[in-house]
Amino acid sequence: MLNVEKSRADKIYGNDKLQPVILAIGAGIGADFDITKIRYGKVIIMADADVDGAHIRTLLLTFFFRYMRPLIENGNVYLAQPPLYKLSKKGMEDIYCYTDEDLAKAYKELEEKGIQREQLGLQRYKGLGEMNPDQLWETTMDPERRILIKVKLEDAMKADETFNLLMGDEIEPRRKFIEDNAKYVRNLDI
């Protein structure tokens, strides 16, 4: 994904990752963006539930914030929430957990029903590609069951600030951010 913060418009238009997004939305970018020409009522960012997916979401939110801001202001941008975990047991319907807190709650509720952790299968999804098509449909794409989070301008502004901090030219603020937040890291993909 292109760092739009440090790129000229011609590089953005020609980028093989952003060009399909620009064409699909159909409303141009930057000063040429025309909200009346958007082709879809919802633009849904669907990325992996891990650290890499968060990075991609941040890059896309920064792109929308910088070059298609009316999409966010108009309430057209959403984040899809794929699950992080699946709990399974023969004879029991699969339980999808979207956060570590959901997983802890599911374990507690199942233990109250007499089902022990050792009896359950646990699958951690590192990416959307690890899911079977029916699982992806059921958890992330089915309009009846999916979880969508509407992106607000404040969300995009925060993503933009974080992106600038982490990808900008100043080293000291980035070092301080990493030192201050390292203690919160739980799942680090190396």
Residue closest to 46 by CA, chosen among 131, 164, 158? 131
76 — pLDDT class (breaks 50, 70, 90): very high
Which pLDDT score, from 0 to 100, does residue 188 have? Answer: 47
Per-residue pLDDT band at 190 (split at 50, 70, 90):
very low
Confidence of residue 4 (pLDDT cuts 50, 70, 90): low
pTM: 0.75
- Average pLDDT of 46-73? 86
Residue 14, token pair as written in the block: 């020609």
Residue-wise over 149-183: b if at least 16 C-beta within 10 A, else e?
eebeeebbeebbeebeeeeeeeeeeeeeeeeeeee
| Nearest residue to 33 via CA among 61, 71, 68 | 68
Please give the domain boundaries of the chain with CATH numbers for all domains: 4-81+147-184 (3.40.50.670), 85-141 (3.30.1490)
* DSSP letter assigned to residue 95: E
Give pLDDT tens digits for 88-103: 999 899 999 988 899 9
Percent of the chain past pLDDT 70, that is, above it, reads 77
Quick: pLDDT tens for 110-129.
999 999 999 999 998 878 88
Average pLDDT over residues 71-84: 93
Q: Tell me the backbone φ, ψ of residue 92, rounded to 5 degrees.
A: -125, 140
